[in-house]
A and B are shown apart, each in its own frame.
Chain A
Amino acid sequence: MTTQTKPAARGIRGKTAIIGAGISEVGRVPGRSAMALAAQAALRAMADAGISRDEIDGVLSSVAFAAPFHRFSVAISEYLGIQPKFSNTLQVSGATAATMFNIAAAAIAGGLAETVLIVGGDSLLSGLTPDLALRSMTESRDQQYEMPFGIPVSNTFAMTAHRHMKEFGTTAEQFAQVAVIHREHARRTPNAQMTQPITVEDVLNSGWVATPYHKLDCSLISDGGGAFIVTSAERAKSLGIERPVYILGGGEFYTHEHIFLMPSLTTTGAVQSSAAAYAMAGYGPGDMDVAGVYDCFTGTVIMMLEDLGFCPKGEGGRFVEDGQITYGGAIPCNTHGGLLSFAHSGMPGSLFHFYEVVNQLRGLCGPRQVPDAALGLVHSLGAGFATNATTILGTEATL
């Protein structure tokens, strides 16, 4: 797809900008609660933006397994000493991250708040242990129709990927290649959780978790938080922010709740969520310079490359094999290493994708920098593709 014509005004397009980004210590971070990790990220995002707490009038957050406040956004506001006039705790599983950006932009454009803190943090590794973390996530499945059969958190993603292999001939080696590329990316990222190089063979020999996935096809279990400051484009300008990153488009789509009611196991709501985001932004997949693609499992990335429009349906495996998702390829993805190798702390995991894409668009990624990156896409998803959300970001030049 080529660049489409830009309409005068479309939804939230260009009305808000990300002016600050921060992440906490990530990986294995003992001695810091989920709240502490979220707070650390929030303070770093504020420092990055050069604003103080009293300039924040909105707070959006995800939930945390290790700090199970029903109203995490309210609890973290209290923890930080902020009294916002707009707040909500969002929960659409892994898709939550992108929805926070879309909703922050809409809230600011609609006058509910002027400067919103987006924040999430969890302590899955040190606060919960891996076993408890996986069990907590599994308990989000249906208590009558799914859980009695012993379905692990990997199951919905494993069955969709398995079907993709059957329908399109996608191979275990192609899945493994996704893990190898992510590890290669993580090696250039400070504080990435996993930096030991791996090969396709290593992935295939890493032992089964749930077919068709081996251990190294699965994302990590981590501690960590992420936070962002979003404000109106006018306020970003009056603050003299050097490299604001504009929210150009957003979209969501929800096709089902139960995996057995998913209309197709191999085509997801990412088709619709990204189409809405592209239309709002006035750009297509071919215009993107860099992407953050939810990578809870290797096959997830392959399916998303197709549904986000980066390659035709069924060709995701070959696209990866041809080197298209790394430097020099069509769309460098997850240049920080993703959930597979950088860190995955649950709901905040996809905030790390945002952190990387925002910094790519600001030109701050050093040895990982994609030259002249001006347009980026982040896609968050969850619950076995039940939830999909896309956000498109761009520099001032792309407005």
Chain B
Amino acid sequence: MNPVKDAHIKPLPTPDGDSEAYWQGLKRGQILLQHCLDCGHLQVYQESICRTCTSERLEHRAASGRGKIHSFSVVYRAPGPAFKNDTPYAVILVELEEGVRMISSMVECPVEDVAFDMPVELVCDPVAEDVVLPRFRPRR
């Protein structure tokens, strides 16, 4: 943690051995879920094992990219200077059709229109040369 250095730069994910394929998938426009071949559990948070049965037999399959808003919070006070110019923006907890949840933020939608259970769809947002973030917009 260094609270002073790079405070104006938005934090970007640094993929690791668990998550490399996930971040590569987003560059191709897909959210890759890990499907457990032994128990059928699905996970978006990438691990070397299945969180339900500890099996290592996991297979990546693309999610539909559709979901709905389980909860949300519109940020008016940014967590540091990097996000100051974006306020207000809606951080959302999306529940994908496949049943798993993920954190994201809303695009192409005024913050006052964001609502519980709102149907949303994936927007792949190239935020840096080699990084695509999964964001969501109202489903069309």
Note all chain A residues with C-beta closer than 8 A to B105.
Answer: 149-150
B77 CB–A CB distance under 8 Å: yes
Contact A260 B101 (CB under 8 A): yes
Indicate whether A149 sits within 8 Å of B133 (C-beta atoms), given known contacts A132-B3, A138-B80, A207-B76. yes
Q: Which residues of the other chain, A, contact B11 by a CB distance below 8 angstroms?
A: 143, 147-148
B79 near A148 with CB under 8 A, answer: no
Chain B: minimal CB distance from A372 (Å): 42
Binary contact readout A128-169 vs B (1 if CB under 8 angstroms, 0 otherwise): 100110111011000111111111111100111011001000
Across the interface, do A210 and B75 meet the contact criterion of CB distance under 8 Å?
yes
List the count of A-B residue pairs having beta carbons below 8 Å apart.
116
- Is B27 located at the chain interface by the 8 A CB criterion? no
Which residues of chain B come closer than 8 Å to A153, judged between CB atoms? Answer: 79
Q: A149-B133, A162-B72, A163-B71 are in contact. Are A138 and B79 (CB under 8 A)?
A: yes
Is B1's CB under 8 angstroms from A139's CB?
Answer: yes
Distance of A135 Cα from B102 Cα, bound (Å): 22
Is residue B60 contacting chain A, with contact meaning CB distance below 8 A?
no
A150 pairs with B70, CB closer than 8 A: no
Contact A159 B13 (CB under 8 A): no
Whether the Cβ atoms of B3 and A210 lie closer than 8 Å is no
Query: With A143-B11, A148-B11, A260-B45 given, is the CB distance from A210 to B102 under 8 Å?
Result: no
Provide the bound-state CA to CA distance between A149 and B79, in Å: 10
The chain B residue with its CB closest to the CB of A135 is: B80
> What is the bound-complex CA distance between A210 and B72, given in angstroms?
10
Given A143-B11, A258-B45, the answer on whether A150 and B78 have CB atoms closer than 8 Å is yes
Which of A147, A152, A209 has the most chain B CB within a 10 Å cutoff?
A152
Decide: B91 and A149 in contact? CB cutoff 8 A: yes
Is there an interface contact between A260 and B78, defined as CB atoms closer than 8 Å?
A: no
Which residues of A are at the interface with B, using a C-beta cutoff of 8 A? 68, 128, 131-132, 134-136, 138-139, 143-155, 158-160, 162-163, 166, 207-213, 258-261, 265
**Interface residues in chain B, defined as those with a beta carbon under 8 Å from any beta carbon in chain A:** 1, 3-4, 7, 10-16, 19, 23, 44-45, 70-80, 82-83, 86, 88-89, 91, 93, 101-105, 116, 127, 133
